[in-house]
Structure 1
């Protein structure tokens, strides 16, 4: 799951600054459990590829801004 999201980020499907799909939406799209998406998002945040804005969602990290939660 995380590798698929990394691929989408690398290919520009999700460009820097783009809001990521909600957990339920992405889980339905990829036919996985929501917990699988949450775990992948957590790993990508740890790697600095995603940042979370409280009450707004997860975004692809922008190279000009540090990825913080």
Structure 2
């Protein structure tokens, strides 16, 4: 619920590019908007996949997540 409240507030004040969600709430929130959760990974896993091959070693935390949605 907190994620939805925050997202709605951000959308009223400025275009949202980053919002916070509880992981369990995200699929339902997206479905209400005709979207589907395509991927949900930790920032650590995303860094290993996308930054490590470029030789970049960025500090990350396993508890932050990156989500991708599609229609």
* Structure with bigger RCO (C-alpha 8 Å, 6+ apart): 1
Q: Normalising by structure 1, report the TM-score.
A: 0.35
Q: Normalising by structure 2, report the TM-score.
A: 0.34
Bigger Cα Rg? 2
Higher strand share: 2
